[in-house]
């Protein structure tokens, strides 16, 4: 049989294209900002992970220009050989200091970070215990590791305990969870995860791609939010969200970093972060470290948006972000609007897009077939007036399509 037969038979998107609701690969014609030009028309951007709005910050942009002039366009090699710049070491040191960890190593993308960390740490006879709603890169990292995976129901600590009970005596265990879950805006129950990890001799890894710059002291992430910086063994994160660049990182004890550097195939056999990506990540991190009010502004706008939808009669499913008594209210800049079916999600998304607002439609199999949603996300650089305009337009569409 022709191996391309599956491609020739693939028609899943044909109906969406035929109905004019295909939502993917929209072309930006401007900077990634609170307002963009997309396919020739102004759209209010509520579909970006640019949480601090730093992609257009003059200092961040200037850092990228200077790096291009100084170092050229790329390193043309892996960090192992000719691909280490002094800037890479500077970024890793700054990030380790910011996060309060002994050491940091960087990867070329966030996806590659999870592949590289998990596949190096987890051996064939080890166990990975994984929240069911973890990011796809975590699942692929587990596959690459050949370790044994057990999954627990989303944020269900009783189910996590059942998984831990199933691990044979003497086996290595890594519990992996998103810190802030990218679709729901939920926060991992790190206090209970850490407690169970200690009880069962497990290690804890947190994917903080959507936590850095968003939660914790000065935006230091989910472990910082709970005061568990020393108890979380591995932080993973990305530069493509709050830090307005491209790449990823692992933060951990020095001996763990040294092991992964010398055993991670995705790290060893990939070219290093480009000079521009490295320089802009440094500049964005410096901006975050020196301007913690950016995080406060992001939280304020996130709460403003959530209250604004409620006032307009838009039904929202409450995340668990306010359910931790010790934290109080924790506004998360991810607000899902559940549209439930593929058909309604794509129909409503098209109408909202034509009404001048960009949001992200999330349909099956990315989510269960009856839990489709519009993912809206917010930036510290939004204004209340712009959010009001966007929410008015979204609520108009939703009211007309009940």
Catalytic residue among 103, 113, 137, 182: 182
Pairing of strands 203-207, 103-107: unpaired
E strands along 258-384, which residues? 334-340, 357-358, 360-362, 372-377
What CA–CA distances, in Å, run from 346 to 17, 20, 173?
11, 9, 40
Catalytic residue among 88, 101, 241, 287: 241
Q: Classify the phi-psi angles of 170: left when phi > 0, otherwise alpha if psi is within -120 to 50, otherwise beta.
A: left
Catalytic residue among 135, 210, 287, 382: 210
360 — phi, psi (to 5°)?
-105, 120
Active site residue 153: no
Active site residue 210: yes
As a 3-state breakdown, the chain gives helix, strand, coil percent values, each rounded to 5, of 45, 15, 40
Nearest-Å Rg of the Cα atoms of the chain is 21
Active site residue 6: no
With vertex at residue 129, the alpha carbon angle to CA 329 and CA 233, rounded to the nearest 5 degrees, is 65
User: Cβ-count burial of 127 within 10 angstroms (0-12 exposed, 13-18 middle, 19+ buried)?
Assistant: buried
Catalogue the active-site residues.
182, 210, 241
């Amino acid at each position: 049989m022709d191996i391309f037969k599956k491609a020739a038979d693939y028609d899943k998107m044909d109906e969406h294209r035929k109905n004019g609701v295909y939502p993917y690969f929209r072309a930006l014609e401007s900077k990634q900002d609170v307002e963009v030009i997309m396919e020739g028309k102004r759209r209010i951007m509520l579909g970006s992970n640019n949480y601090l709005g730093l992609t257009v910050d003059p200092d961040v942009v200037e850092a990228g220009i200077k790096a291009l002039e100084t170092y050229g366009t790329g390193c043309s090699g892996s960090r192992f050989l000719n691909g280490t710049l002094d800037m890479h070491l500077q970024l890793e040191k700054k990030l380790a200091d910011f996060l309060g960890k002994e050491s940091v190593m960087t990867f070329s993308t966030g996806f590659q970070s999870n592949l590289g960390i998990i596949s190096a740490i987890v051996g064939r006879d080890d166990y990975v215990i994984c929240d069911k709603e973890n990011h796809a890169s975590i699942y692929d990292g587990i596959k690459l590791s050949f370790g044994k995976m057990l999954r627990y129901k989303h944020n269900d600590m009783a189910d996590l305990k059942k998984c831990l009970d199933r691990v044979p005596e003497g086996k290595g265990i890594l519990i992996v969870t998103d810190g802030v879950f990218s679709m729901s805006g939920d926060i991992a129950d790190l206090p209970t995860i850490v407690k169970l990890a200690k009880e069962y001799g497990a290690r804890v890894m947190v994917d903080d791609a959507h936590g850095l710059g968003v939660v914790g002291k000065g935006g230091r992430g989910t472990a910082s939010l709970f005061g568990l910086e020393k108890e979380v063994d591995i932080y993973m994160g990305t530069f493509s969200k709050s830090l307005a660049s491209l790449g990823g990182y692992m933060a951990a004890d020095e001996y763990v970093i040294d092991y992964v550097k010398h055993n991670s195939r995705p790290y060893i056999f990939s070219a290093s972060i480009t000079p521009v990506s490295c320089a802009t990540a440094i500049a964005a991190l410096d901006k975050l470290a020196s301007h913690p009010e950016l995080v406060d502004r992001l939280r304020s706008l996130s709460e403003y948006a959530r209250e604004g939808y409620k006032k307009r009669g838009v039904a929202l499913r409450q995340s668990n972000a306010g359910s931790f008594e010790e934290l109080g209210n924790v506004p998360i800049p991810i607000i899902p609007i559940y549209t439930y079916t593929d058909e309604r999600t794509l129909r409503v998304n098209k109408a909202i897009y034509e009404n001048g607002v960009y949001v992200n439609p999330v349909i099956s199999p990315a989510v269960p077939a009856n839990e489709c949603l519009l993912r809206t996300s917010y930036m510290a650089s939004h204004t209340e007036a712009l959010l009001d305009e966007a929410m008015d337009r979204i609520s108009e569409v939703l009211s007309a399509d009940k």
